[in-house]
Amino acid sequence: MEEDCYATQLINANGEFNRDGLESFLKKVKLADCGLSYAVVAIMGPQSSGKSTLLNHLFRTNFREMDAYSGRNQTTKGIWIAKCIGIEPCTIVMDLEGTDGRERGEDDTTFEKRSALFALAISDIVLINMWCHDIGREHAANKPLLKTVFQVMMRLFSPRKTTLLFVIRDKTKTPLELLEPILREDIQKIWDAVPKPRGHENTHLSEFFNVVVVALSSYEEKEEKFKEEVAQLRQRFLHSISPGGLAGDRQGVVPGSGFSFSAHQIWKIIKENKDLDLPAHKVMVATVRCEEIAREKFNQLTHDEDWLALENAVERGPIPGIGKKLSSILESYLHEYDTQSTYFDEGVRNAKRQELESAILDLLYHVYTTMLGHLRYKAHENFKIRLENSLKKGEGFASSARACAESSIHDFDQGCADAAIQQAGWDSSKAREKLRRDIDAHASTVCSAKLSEIVVKYENQLSTALTEPVESLLESGERDTWASIRKLLKHRTEVEISAFSSAVSGFELDKAKMTTLVQNLMDYARNVVVKKAREEAGKVLILMKDRFSMVFNHDTDSLPRVWTGKEDIRTITKEARSASLKLLSVMAAIRLDEKPDEIENILFSCLMDGIVAHPSSRDRSIGTSSDPLALSTWDEISPEDTLITPLQCKSLWRQFKAETDYTVTQAISAREAYRQNNSWLPPMWAIVAMVILGFNELMLLLRNPLYVLILFVVYLLSKALWVQLDIEGELQRGTLAALLSVSSRFLPTVMNLLRRLAEEAQGYAVPKAPTQSESVVSQSFRQQTPQANALSSSIPESSVSSNISSSDDGVEYSSPNVTHRRTTNIQEEEIST
């Protein structure tokens, strides 16, 4: 199939540029792929001078030719363009509207000039078609054309060399060797006559043009010869752009991809009648085209499937080797740009390449920063896990945090290097700093938490080690209580601080921080003691009563005291109160600073020595400066260390005394009762009086044996009654009670005794009756209430037998001793509560 020349009208008769037509034509001839390897040929000459016929034979195009039989009418309007068939490299030929045409008249001069300028601006070879018979003629048709060509050539302001190929048509028998000098002379004359711009006055024609002359036989008369000569001429167009070829120096040539834009711009400038600066135009074309190529490449990238997949994937997580992938994308698009822009002006090309690279990098930067975000997050999480594992292994916090931070940041750096694009030189230092800050913040949080755990642990240990011993020491209320507490506090604090220091050594805390923590621990220990002391001070009255009861009710061997009448209750009471007051003096203030004070002396002098002890003296004492307890502070003790103020001490002492007085009273009652119970014999003076006054009767009895027998029988009966009536037991409950009891039971007992004697005398076997003492004791035990049982179990056995008896009606009653024990037990219950 024969190749098409794609003839297209480039500019119509009205001077309108067919941009779309040209684009379409260039696509068909694939000029963009040619780069700079293409040539442009134009033909100009008088109308109907056989231009189209020549081009069609020379380049196998199909420009419209005039029918030889229809007359010499204009066939080519405007400028047409077509591809030369079979000419390498790609050659484009332009057929210009003929000059000097009858239809256009004088006005056509403008179009002639414009089309001539256009042809000269974009063509490498310009064919000037002329009749042979015009050579040497003064008014030849080609002279105005040449003048126009030279004039417009001046406007290009370019020393570009274009080949002017003069094609002499219908050559005559005159040999070309004779015609050519004449033609060149004509050309030179015209050149000389054309006004030249400043600086080009003496410029030679050859600096702008290569002038070549060929002559062809008449197509109409010697067609075969014509075709033969045209075929020869065609050979000169093959590889016309090669060195030594027919084309000019091609300095203004633009790459094939810019041809359309360039041609359009040139025509625009020509139409606007502006000066056409070809070098500037070349730069302008390069700028526009490079921009177009760069824009096209950028758009292609934004729709690139690989890129879009990468952009989506990076949102979901880190992508290994992303830097290389991004680099590859960048390189491939820059390479395409380089390939397509390679023939444009180097300066422009490089500038636009940088712009394209920058735009692509801006696009890729988002992916890079997202990737950095993933890397930073991952490194941060890894740091947390590593630190936790390291701490679980028991390694020191500071060294673990350091090592984990270094390895996490190292991982991040490696990730950054992996994500980096070589061409970009992006800076990851900000993300690195952020990661460092995050790691430091996390390490700081963990450090604080771990330190808090350790601090709490040692605080608890301190609390455990101090609370109960301090409580015990305070409740002992000894003179050296506070010295012992200070010693205990110092010892336990030292032990715990030593252990604490070892425990936190791995944190590598600075000296100030360590000092603060140790001080806090010391303060905590002190506060534990203070808190305990305040707590104990709050229940000092109970403790004092407890102490009083302990001392009062127990002897020196800590055995429960029995009030036998021998005890010195006054001394014992004083001792017990003294112990309680000592406890109060211990509880009155916190003495952790080893400063001497007079609290104990003041309390003893004021309260034990009776200065303000009596309630009646209260009103007189309070408010007087002479009473040391009429104050709300102790002299040597700061308000913070004061647990019980002097006024409170006084008040507590009054309350204490009031509540313990009953105990003392009970003790005194018990002692008196014991004494009475154990002294049933008459006083010594009565016995002596009885012996002296009854001496005669005694002697009388001793002298008469019957009296002695009667006395013996009376003794026996009396003894029997004594035992039967348990008179000794009755007397222990009091004389009056004994008399009443014995008198009420005397007669029945005597009767019972006599009855039994009578029965025994008559020989009846009388069952043995329990003895009075046995029945009384068993009855007594049977009739004891549970409370009495409890009481009896809490007091000595000897006391039970002597203090508990039963009445005739079976109701139990207690001696004063029993009452005293009840009181004691009630106090004990209060203390234990």
Annotated binding site: 45-52
Among 8, 9, 18, 48, binds ligand GTP (CB under 6 A): 48
Q: State how far the Cα of 448 lies from the Cα of 471, in Å rounded to an integer.
A: 33
Does residue 442 belong to the site contacting ligand GTP (CB under 6 A)? Answer: no
Q: In angstroms, what is the minimal distance from the CB of 141 to ligand GTP? A: 12
Does residue 50 belong to the site contacting ligand GTP (CB under 6 A)? Answer: yes
Range in contact with ligand GTP (rule: CB under 6 A) among 73-81, 106-114, 409-417, 497-505: 73-81
Tokens matching residue 649:
């001490």
Q: In angstroms, what is the minimal distance from the CB of 18 to ligand GTP? A: 18
Count interface residues toward ligand GTP (CB under 6 A): 19
DSSP 589: B
Q: Which spans in 277-343 are helix H?
A: 278-302, 305-316, 322-341
Range in contact with ligand GTP (rule: CB under 6 A) among 6-14, 43-51, 391-399, 471-479: 43-51
Among 51, 114, 432, 547, binds ligand GTP (CB under 6 A): 51
Among 66, 401, 576, 583, binds ligand GTP (CB under 6 A): 66
Tokens matching residue 595:
């400063």
Distances (CA, A) of 621 to 311, 606, 631, 652, 745: 94, 10, 11, 15, 60
Does residue 98 belong to the site contacting ligand GTP (CB under 6 A)? Answer: yes
Residues 6+ apart with CB under 8 A from 458: 496, 499, 500, 503, 521
Does residue 220 belong to the site contacting ligand GTP (CB under 6 A)? Answer: yes
Residues in the chain: 833
Does residue 78 belong to the site contacting ligand GTP (CB under 6 A)? Answer: no
Among 8, 18, 52, 645, binds ligand GTP (CB under 6 A): 52
Phi, psi dihedrals of residue 45, rounded to the nearest 5°: 165, 175
Binding mask 170-189 for ligand GTP (x = CB under 6 A): x-------------------
Phi, psi dihedrals of residue 96, rounded to the nearest 5°: -90, 150
Q: In angstroms, what is the minimal distance from the CB of 85 to ligand GTP? A: 18
Is the Cβ of residue 176 or residue 754 nearer to ligand GTP in the bound state? 176
**Is residue 24 within a helix (H) or strand (E), and if so which, with residue range?**
helix 19-29
DSSP 819: H
Is the Cβ of residue 220 or residue 760 nearer to ligand GTP in the bound state? 220
Q: What is the DSSP string of 247-280?
A: S---TT---GGGHHHHHHHHHHHHHTT----HHH
131 bridge partner residues: 169
Q: The sheet that has 209-215: what strands, in order across it?
A: 8-11, 79-83, 90-96, 38-44, 125-131, 162-169, 209-215
One-letter amino acid for residue 95 of the chain? D
Does residue 47 belong to the site contacting ligand GTP (CB under 6 A)? Answer: yes
Contact 528, 466 (CB under 8 A): yes
Does residue 4 belong to the site contacting ligand GTP (CB under 6 A)? Answer: no
Is the Cβ of residue 53 or residue 732 nearer to ligand GTP in the bound state? 53
Q: In angstroms, what is the minimal distance from the CB of 104 to ligand GTP? A: 11
Contact 467, 499 (CB under 8 A): no
Q: In angstroms, what is the minimal distance from the CB of 217 to ligand GTP? A: 7
Q: In angstroms, what is the minimal distance from the CB of 48 to ligand GTP? A: 4
Q: State how far the Cα of 383 lies from the Cα of 404, in Å rounded to an integer.
A: 6
Does residue 74 belong to the site contacting ligand GTP (CB under 6 A)? Answer: yes
Q: State how far the Cα of 142 lies from the Cα of 131, in Å rounded to an integer.
A: 8
Which residue's entry shows tokens 């195009």? 61
End-to-end, the C-alpha distance of the chain in Å comes to: 126
The reply to whether omega before 181 is within 30° of 0 (cis) is no
Range in contact with ligand GTP (rule: CB under 6 A) among 19-27, 65-73, 593-601, 660-668: 65-73
Does residue 231 belong to the site contacting ligand GTP (CB under 6 A)? Answer: no
Range in contact with ligand GTP (rule: CB under 6 A) among 69-77, 347-355, 724-732, 793-801: 69-77
Among 65, 112, 475, 726, binds ligand GTP (CB under 6 A): 65
**470, 462, 463: which is closest to 487 by C-alpha?**
470
Range in contact with ligand GTP (rule: CB under 6 A) among 42-50, 514-522, 626-634, 706-714: 42-50
Is the Cβ of residue 58 or residue 435 nearer to ligand GTP in the bound state? 58
Known binding-site positions for GTP: 45-52
Is the Cβ of residue 169 or residue 577 nearer to ligand GTP in the bound state? 169
- Residues binding ligand GTP (CB under 6 A): 47-53, 65-66, 68, 74-76, 98, 169-170, 218-220
